[in-house]
């Protein structure tokens, strides 16, 4: 049978739908509806288990209480952890999350924004990729709350939660230099986002600061579209071709994991004369023998800030104050193991 509507409730209670609507929306007080009426209607609502149709409500009010989350890949542990935390907090504030992975495909990413728009999501949380600038700018000019995190697109004035990537890799590289490493390799991925480039910059700056010449041969670029096995193979090749390498810094955790597979395949010993640091921590690095050092991003803090920023913007969206941007850069931490 069809679900009940506000009309049915009104009929059952012998009142108008307005009264029911006011009570539903907690405006009964303001409208000075009698306490008796309120109690009676609420009883009926509870009794029949009536829940207002959100779609109709959304059409009428223009908000859906839904936040769109766009990330590269929801199955990446970093994004999965953040998604979980965000979802949890959003839920407590009455918002639902609707998400999608871009798979680093610009067309899909653009499509997602359009799709979310047509579904009238109230706000966006985006780990953006290059090429989305225009789309995001459009959202902003419609005064839609948007918070980007993890990555930043240059020239975009938007609230953001970032981690200081330069500092992260700088610390890591520096720690390797201090330990006397001479040929430090850097393994990264070919996605064109500031965040990844910054990780390279940190590496570069640390070398410069220590007057070590940068050897382009020691910087390995892996294609994002590689399968896991392809990446492992490429890395094996890379380390075989460059036996002088005595330390590696990986720009992402999944690259580091592939690296560990390579080393295992090559039977390469990780010890005082061959050191590895990963970006983003992971249980694997704690359990590996030997344990692997990592640059750790503050996942909870990221999620916390992201959701706070969106909620704040969501709350101020219909006020007339000029929207202020919220920006924060968090620090990562080098965990030496």
264 binds, among a copy of itself, DNA, none (CB under 5 to 8 A by kind): a copy of itself
257 binds, among DNA, a copy of itself, none (CB under 5 to 8 A by kind): a copy of itself
Decide whether 208 or 269 has the Cβ nearer to a copy of itself: 269
Task: Select from 17, 130, 156, 284 the one that contacts a copy of itself (CB under 8 A).
Answer: 284
x-marked contacts with a copy of itself along 85-124 as a string, rule CB under 8 A: --xx--x----xxxxxx-x----x-----xx-xxxx----
Residue 27 touching DNA (CB under 7 A): yes
89 binds, among DNA, a copy of itself, none (CB under 5 to 8 A by kind): none
Contact, 183 vs 246, CB < 8 A?
Answer: yes
- Residues 195 and 210: their CA atoms lie apart, in Å, by 23
User: Within 40-59, which residues bind DNA (CB under 7 A)?
Assistant: 52-53, 56-57, 59
Work out whether strand 333-335 and strand 293-296 pair parallel, antiparallel, or are unpaired.
antiparallel
DSSP three-state, residue 248 = strand
Decide whether 116 or 170 has the Cβ nearer to a copy of itself: 116
- Residues 292 and 203: their CA atoms lie apart, in Å, by 18
Contact, 104 vs 129, CB < 8 A?
Answer: yes
Q: Which residue has the tokens 């036996």?
A: 243
240 binds, among DNA, a copy of itself, none (CB under 5 to 8 A by kind): none
- Cα dihedral 301/93/121/309 (nearest 10): -30
User: In the complex, what is the shortest distance from the CB of residue 277 to DNA, in angstroms, rounded to a whole number?
Assistant: 52
DSSP three-state, residue 272 = coil
Residue 115 touching DNA (CB under 7 A): no
Q: How many residues bind to DNA according to rule CB under 7 A?
A: 27
Contact, 335 vs 175, CB < 8 A?
Answer: no
Q: How far apart are the first and last CA of the chain?
A: 62
User: Within 242-271, which residues bind a copy of itself (CB under 8 A)?
Assistant: 257, 260-261, 264
DSSP three-state, residue 258 = helix
The residues binding DNA (CB under 7 A) are 2, 5-7, 14-19, 21-22, 24-25, 27, 31-34, 37, 52-53, 56-57, 59-61
């Amino acid at each position: 049978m069809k679900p009940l509507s506000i009309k049915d409730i009104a009929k059952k209670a012998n009142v108008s739908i307005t009264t029911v609507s006011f009570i539903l929306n907690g405006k009964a007080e303001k409208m000075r509806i009698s306490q008796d009426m309120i109690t009676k209607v609420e009883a009926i609502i509870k009794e029949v288990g009536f829940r207002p149709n959100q779609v109709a409500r959304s059409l009428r009010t223009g908000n859906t209480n839904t936040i769109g989350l766009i990330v590269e890949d929801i199955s990446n542990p970093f994004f999965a952890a953040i998604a979980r935390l965000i979802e949890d907090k959003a839920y407590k504030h009455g918002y639902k999350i609707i998400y999608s992975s871009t798979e680093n495909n610009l067309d899909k990413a653009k499509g997602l924004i359009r799709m979310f728009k047509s579904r009238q999501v109230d706000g966006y949380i985006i780990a953006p990729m290059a090429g989305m600038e225009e789309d995001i700018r459009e959202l902003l000019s419609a005064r839609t709350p948007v918070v980007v995190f993890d990555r930043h697109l240059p020239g975009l004035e938007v609230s953001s939660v970032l981690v200081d990537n330069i500092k992260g890799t700088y610390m890591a590289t520096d720690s390797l230099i201090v330990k006397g490493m001479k040929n430090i390799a850097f393994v990264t991925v070919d996605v064109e986002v500031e965040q990844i480039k910054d990780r390279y910059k940190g590496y570069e700056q640390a070398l410069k600061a220590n007057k070590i010449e940068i050897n382009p041969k020691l910087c390995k670029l892996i294609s994002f579209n590689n399968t896991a096995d392809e990446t492992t193979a490429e890395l094996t090749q890379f380390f075989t071709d460059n036996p002088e390498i005595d330390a590696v810094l990986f720009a992402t955790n999944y690259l580091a994991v592939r690296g560990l597979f390579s080393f295992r395949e090559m039977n390469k010993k990780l010890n005082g004369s061959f050191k590895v640091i990963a970006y983003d921590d992971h249980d694997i690095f704690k359990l590996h023998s030997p344990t692997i050092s990592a640059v750790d991003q503050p996942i909870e803090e990221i999620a916390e800030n992201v959701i706070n920023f969106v909620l704040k913007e969501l709350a101020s969206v219909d006020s007339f104050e000029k929207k202020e941007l919220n920006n924060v850069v968090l620090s990562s931490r080098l965990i030496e193991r």
